Structure 1
């Protein structure tokens, strides 16, 4: 009896280890299906936004890494060493780590994130004297993206 129980436990353990991960297929959708009418590359998003701080659009780009599976938090390559931090508005969506390195189409709301120096500069609080520091004139601010839908492209 003990031998049969031991054999069955080895059989179950062997099948659990032998299972292969199935690659994510082209066209797989998480959340809502993205609207591809206003589709643009992620590298052109910042130029398209111009002086606007928020915009609703759809972009395509490569996923750099999944930072948190629950809630679908990941980072997307925006070109020129820039990163788009993206997450789903629906926190119930779980995004698999296998999506890393894949090209995806996402739709939702893009928003510019400002750093403290920029906010003080816009408010007119400029510092003079010894405490003066260099104001960040780099136009490449970080962009966050609240996703309503994601589709695997390549």
Structure 2
């Protein structure tokens, strides 16, 4: 009898530990539904984009900044101190404003674009930057951008 009780306790303990050790990744989806299939690393996008106007692909990264007005754009860290501006196709959807630091998978179109000083200041204002920081923006900037038709936000 005592052995059976110990066995039941050990089995229950093992089951509890196993359930606690499992991590589940949940995803929030926005925009067009898609399956995440081998996202292209940011580092290779410029090479793949060479000689083309745009490139349809999936990519993934960490959210660095989000529009605090509506969640109508975000910036993703692409390494080496650089970021990529992500807007949403036809403003058809927005993302939550509290996703900085979370992983996203983006489905859509990558392209190079030069942003005017007015556009850069508008984005800085949307991000909640100070007047002093906004005033420091004095030059247009060419950058890698992305128009997403779908976004998956990964949460653990």
* Preserved CA contact (<8 Å) 1:70 1:93: no
Alignment of 1:85-124 (within 5 A): 85-114=85-114
Aligned equivalent of 1:41: 41
More strand by share: 2
Q: 2: CA distance between counterparts of 1:153 and 1:48? A: 26
Q: Where does the alignment leave 5 or more consecutive residues of structure 2 unmatched?
A: 1-24, 117-141
Q: 2: CA distance between counterparts of 1:93 and 1:61? A: 19
* Preserved CA contact (<8 Å) 1:71 1:92: no
**Which digits, 9 at most, give the CA deviation of each residue in 1:13-37, with x for residues without a partner?**
xxxxxxxxxxxx7211011223433
More helix by share: 2
Q: Where does the alignment leave 5 or more consecutive residues of structure 1 unmatched?
A: 1-24, 117-140
Q: 2: CA distance between counterparts of 1:36 and 1:94? A: 19
* Preserved CA contact (<8 Å) 2:42 2:78: yes
Alignment of 1:1-154 (within 5 A): 26-37=26-37, 39-70=39-70, 72-114=72-114, 141-154=142-155
Aligned equivalent of 1:119: none
Give the count of matched residue pairs: 107
Shift of 1:78: 1.2
Shift of 1:148: 0.3
**Which digits, 9 at most, give the CA deviation of each residue in 1:73-106, with x for residues without a partner?**
1111111122111011142423111211101000
Aligned equivalent of 2:9: none
